[in-house]
């Protein structure tokens, strides 16, 4: 089971954002970090897969399912996309947020709704927040609620656009550990847009590095995030340093001139 | 955990039910006050006997209660509910808390459609003449709503841009209405003025029946979309990712809004503020779970318009003060009180 992308094209207005993007199959049970400079097409890639922007591709399959003819609502059966932008003021409790996520497409009986909310809330450690108004939660807690919204439908792929933005270090690691566990336990494919290269090094199985709407490098993070790739993708002089606990760390020494 | 979640959810639900029942109770009380208020001095006893035993009162009392006061009071309730429901749906689908049929031009567009029918005799082909005014009002209201939706989504217009466009549309439609007034004869001019001020004075049972039917029809479909409308509050992309066909939900909601606003305008004229304020009151007190928010907004709209009707009669029993004027004067302080309170639940 894998997500297959081939010759993916997407334009926003007159700007060609994705220009024939192709990638090796992205296997389920993995966390894939989507990396690249601002404007290279990371968010557009996720939105193209979710179907919220029009795109063309010679192949866009999740397992045997051809996503191309499916509208966003139909793709949501198997893929859940979490945009970067947070909703504005909401007069809803956490429980209501989760109930909406479950019932927006198909209505479920009240008892089943309660049970599935309880399961996902317990899994993500937000069961004590269910009665709280979502507006009164911290940024990290809200992010967990949005994740729970995406997971309550038990999708096969999760597309997350910068879920760590504006989170403190504790919540950043909490969310990434959670994604790793969910990917392994549920055989879930997690595509996550990140800007923190060390977060990618530590928690992602694979990196998908984009440049100018195409894949510049793809593979296991240690392999894909080489100093050469980082120089081309981010225009920085970087080195990979082994840390005492066995993980590697990217240290950026300087910017490269254009 | 399941039992716990169920248990903790019960008080919230019970509180909402109690609050909704309290508002319905207030509506009944206001209805009673409205029926006992008017130019003719009728005691509460006479009103009561006229309602429960019409044969026991004189024909004049019977006429006043059954043909004047009761249809007007019920019209205030259904019109307020229609505008409250329309405002709530509009604020949700346009993702704009300043949206309402009045502020964004749908009411003005509907009034223009009605004016085209009444003053210039322009009717849609194939529509019976007796429904020509309502059909024109509906079509113009729908076109205005679709224009706003198109501007919001296709042109990527920001929230304040939509409001400004709506205000511009209000001015535009009002200018065209003024032009029609200029070329209208005296009888048509009187009817147009009646529309533009918003009045319950000419309400009859047939009007109450028509608007009630439209409200029931739209209300049923709105409630069936309650989960999807709530999902829209998370934004277009999130709602789509939750499995909502956002374009379809938005298009259907705007059609319901147009139907509600246009029918209300065609029957009682342009009444502002209700469609804007009622959703805010409902949101603050009941939250945005649309299973509660939509009926609560309708209930709040009914309460505001009935209260305005009572106030209008209290201010003067000799001349009829158009309820559209009073609505705004009553609504503003009410709105300020609600906004200043912390939300419940």
Is the confidence at residue A213, as pLDDT, over 80?
yes
**The pLDDT of residue A100:** 96
Angle at B204 between CA B200 and CA B206, to 5 degrees: 130
pTM, entire model: 0.87
**The pLDDT of residue B345:** 40
CB-CB neighbours of A42 under 10 Å: 26
3-state helix, strand, coil in chain A (%, to 5): 35, 30, 35
Domain count, chain B: 1
How distant is the alpha carbon of residue A86 from its chain centre?
15
Q: Residue A158 class from Cβ within 10 Å (0-12 exposed, 13-18 middle, 19+ buried)?
A: buried
- Within 57-76 of A, beta carbons closer than 8 Å to B belong to 71-73, 76
Per-residue pLDDT tens for B110-144? 889 988 888 888 888 888 777 788 788 888 988 89
Give the pLDDT band of residue B9 (cuts 50, 70, 90).
Answer: low
Residue of A72, A89, A150 to mutate when probing chain B, most B C-beta within 10 A = A72
Strand order in the sheet with A214-220: A79-82, A157-161, A189-193, A31-35, A206-211, A214-220
Alpha carbon of B135: minimum distance to chain A alpha carbons (Å): 33
Q: How far apart are CA B190 and CA B184, in angstroms?
A: 9
CA of B8: which chain A residue's CA is closest? Answer: A131
Q: Which helix (H) or strand (E) holds A176?
A: helix A169-186
- The reply to whether residue A106 touches residue B243, judged by beta carbons under 8 angstroms, is yes
How distant is the alpha carbon of residue A90 from its chain centre?
23
Segment of A232-236, B64-68, B240-244 carrying the highest mean pLDDT: A232-236
Q: With beta carbons under 8 A apart, name residues in chain B contacting A50.
A: 237, 240-241
Residue B345 in any domain: the answer is no
- The reply to whether residue B241 touches residue A150, judged by beta carbons under 8 angstroms, is yes
Per-residue pLDDT tens for A9-56? 999 988 999 999 999 999 999 999 999 999 999 999 999 999 999 999
Residue B92 in any domain: the answer is yes
- Which among B284, B236, B278, B282 has a CA at the least distance from the CA of B260? B278
Is the confidence at residue B1, as pLDDT, over 70?
no
Q: SS3 of B313, please?
A: helix
Q: With beta carbons under 8 A apart, name residues in chain B contacting A100.
A: 227, 230-231, 234, 242, 289
CB-CB neighbours of A128 under 10 Å: 11
- The reply to whether residue B233 touches residue A92, judged by beta carbons under 8 angstroms, is yes
Domain ranges, residue B289: 2-340
CA of B95: which chain A residue's CA is closest? Answer: A88
- The reply to whether residue A92 touches residue B287, judged by beta carbons under 8 angstroms, is yes
* Contact in structure between B137 and B264 (CB atoms under 8 Å): no
Q: SS3 of A150, please?
A: helix
Per the structure block, which two tokens stand in for A134?
Answer: 């979502």
Of A92, A118, A153, Cβ closest to residue B5: A118
Per-residue pLDDT tens for B267-297? 888 888 899 889 999 998 999 999 999 999 9
Angle at B254 between CA B303 and CA A69, to 5 degrees: 140
- The reply to whether residue A52 touches residue B237, judged by beta carbons under 8 angstroms, is yes
Per-residue pLDDT tens for A73-89? 889 989 999 998 888 88
Question: Per residue, what are the HEC states of A12-39?
Answer: ECCEEEEEEEEEEEEECCCEEEEECCCC
Is the confidence at residue A185, as pLDDT, over 80?
yes
**The pLDDT of residue B6:** 43
Give the pLDDT band of residue B158 (cuts 50, 70, 90).
Answer: low
Annotated domain spans of chain A = 1-78+155-225, 88-154
Per the structure block, which two tokens stand in for B270?
Answer: 């342009």
Q: SS3 of A248, please?
A: strand
How distant is the alpha carbon of residue B277 from its chain centre?
10
- Within 71-130 of A, beta carbons closer than 8 Å to B belong to 71-73, 76-77, 79-83, 85, 87, 90-93, 95-97, 99-101, 103-107, 111, 114-115, 117-119, 121-122, 127, 130
Residue B68 in any domain: the answer is yes
Q: How far apart are CA B20 and CA A148, in angstroms?
A: 31
**The pLDDT of residue B150:** 80
CA of A53: which chain B residue's CA is closest? Answer: B237
* Contact in structure between B144 and B265 (CB atoms under 8 Å): no
- The reply to whether residue B235 touches residue A105, judged by beta carbons under 8 angstroms, is no
- Mean pLDDT along residues A187-204: 96
Per-residue pLDDT tens for B86-100? 999 999 988 888 888
Residue of B240, B244, B344, B345 to mutate when probing chain A, most A C-beta within 10 A = B240
Q: With beta carbons under 8 A apart, name residues in chain B contacting A106.
A: 243
CA of A154: which chain B residue's CA is closest? Answer: B242
In residues, how long is chain A?
Answer: 258
DSSP result, B187-205: HHHHHHHHHHH--STT--H
- The reply to whether residue A47 touches residue B237, judged by beta carbons under 8 angstroms, is yes
DSSP result, B127-187: S-GGGHHHHHHHHHHHHHHHHHHHHHHTS---HHHHHHHHHHHHHHHHHHHHHHHHH--HH
Q: How far apart are CA B227 and CA B218, in angstroms?
A: 16
Strands A189-193 and A206-211: unpaired
For residue B82, give the CATH number of its domain: 1.10.3470.10
- Which among B233, B255, B236 has a CA at the least distance from the CA of B246? B236
- The reply to whether residue A150 touches residue B12, judged by beta carbons under 8 angstroms, is no
Q: With beta carbons under 8 A apart, name residues in chain B contacting A93.
A: 12, 287
% of chain A with per-residue pLDDT over 70: 100
Per-residue pLDDT tens for B226-265? 999 999 999 988 999 999 998 889 888 988 998 898 888 8
Give the count of Cβ contacts less than 8 A between chain A and B: 115
**The pLDDT of residue A89:** 87
Q: With beta carbons under 8 A apart, name residues in chain A contacting B238.
A: 82-83, 87, 146, 149
**The pLDDT of residue B2:** 38
- Mean pLDDT along residues A168-180: 93
Q: How far apart are CA A190 and CA B25, in angstroms?
A: 52
What fold is seen in the domain A1-78+155-225? Rossmann fold (3.40.50)
State residue A215 phi and psi, 5-degree precision.
-85, 120
Strand order in the sheet with A65-66: A15-27, A2-12, A59-62, A65-66
* DSSP-derived secondary structure letter, B343: P
- The reply to whether residue B241 touches residue A114, judged by beta carbons under 8 angstroms, is no
């Amino acid at each position: 089971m894998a997500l297959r992308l081939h010759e993916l094209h997407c334009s926003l207005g007159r700007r060609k954002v994705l220009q024939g993007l192709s990638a090796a199959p992205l296997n389920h049970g993995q966390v894939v970090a989507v990396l690249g400079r601002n404007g290279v097409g990371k968010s557009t890639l996720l939105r193209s897969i979710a179907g919220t922007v029009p795109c063309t591709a010679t192949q866009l399959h999740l397992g045997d399912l051809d996503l191309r003819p499916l509208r966003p609502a139909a793709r949501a059966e198997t893929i859940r996309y979490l945009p970067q932008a947070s909703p504005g003021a909401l007069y809803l409790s956490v429980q209501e947020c989760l109930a909406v996520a479950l019932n927006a497409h198909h209505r479920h009986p009240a008892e089943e709704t309660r049970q599935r909310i309880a399961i996902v809330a317990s899994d993500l450690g937000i069961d004590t927040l269910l009665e709280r108004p979502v507006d009164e939660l911290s940024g990290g807690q809200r992010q967990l609620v949005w994740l729970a919204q995406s997971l309550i439908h038990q999708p096969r792929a999760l597309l997350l656009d910068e879920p760590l933005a504006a989170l403190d270090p504790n919540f950043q690691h909490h969310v990434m550990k959670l994604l790793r566990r969910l990917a392994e336990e549920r055989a879930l494919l997690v595509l996550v847009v990140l800007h923190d290269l060390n977060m990618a090094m530590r928690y992602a199985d694979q990196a998908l590095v984009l440049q100018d709407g195409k894949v510049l490098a793809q593979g296991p993070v240690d392999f894909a995030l080489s100093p050469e790739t980082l120089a081309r993708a981010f225009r920085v002089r970087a080195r990979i340093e082994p840390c005492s606990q066995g993980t590697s760390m990217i240290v950026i020494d300087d910017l490269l001139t254009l | 955990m399941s039992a716990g979640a169920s248990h903790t959810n019960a008080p919230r639900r019970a509180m909402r039910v109690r609050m909704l029942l309290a508002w319905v109770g207030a509506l009944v009380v206001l209805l009673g006050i409205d029926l006992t208020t008017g130019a003719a001095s009728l005691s509460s006893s006479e009103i009561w006997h006229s309602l429960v035993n019409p044969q026991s009162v004189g024909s004049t009392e019977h006429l006043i209660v059954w043909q004047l006061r009761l249809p007007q009071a019920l019209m205030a309730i259904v019109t307020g509910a229609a505008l409250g429901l329309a405002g709530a749906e509009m604020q949700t689908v346009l993702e704009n808390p300043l949206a309402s049929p009045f502020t964004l031009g749908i009411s003005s567009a509907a009034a223009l459609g009605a004016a085209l029918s009444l003053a210039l005799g322009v009717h849609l082909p194939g529509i019976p003449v007796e429904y020509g005014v309502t059909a024109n009002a509906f079509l113009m209201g729908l076109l205005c709503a679709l224009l706003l939706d198109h501007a919001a989504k296709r042109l990527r217009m920001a929230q304040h841009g939509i409001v400004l466009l709506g205000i511009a549309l209000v001015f535009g439609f009002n200018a065209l209405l003024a032009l029609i007034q200029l070329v209208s004869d005296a009888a048509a001019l009187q009817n147009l003025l009646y529309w533009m001020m918003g009045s319950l004075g000419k309400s009859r049972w047939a009007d109450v029946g028509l608007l009630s039917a439209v409200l029931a029809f739209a209300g049923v479909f709105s409630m069936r979309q309650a989960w999807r409308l709530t999902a829209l509050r998370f934004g277009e992309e999130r709602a789509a990712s939750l499995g909502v066909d956002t374009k379809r939900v938005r298009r259907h909601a705007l059609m319901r809004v147009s139907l509600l606003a246009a029918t209300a305008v065609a029957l009682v004229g342009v009444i502002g503020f209700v469609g804007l304020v009622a959703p805010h009151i409902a949101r603050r007190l009941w939250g945005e779970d649309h299973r509660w928010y939509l009926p609560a907004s309708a209930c709040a709209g009914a309460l505001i318009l009935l209260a305005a009707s009572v106030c209008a009669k209290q201010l003067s029993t000799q001349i009829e003060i158009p309820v559209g004027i009073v609505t705004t004067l009553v609504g503003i302080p009410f709105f300020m009180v609600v906004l200043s309170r912390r939300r419940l639940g």
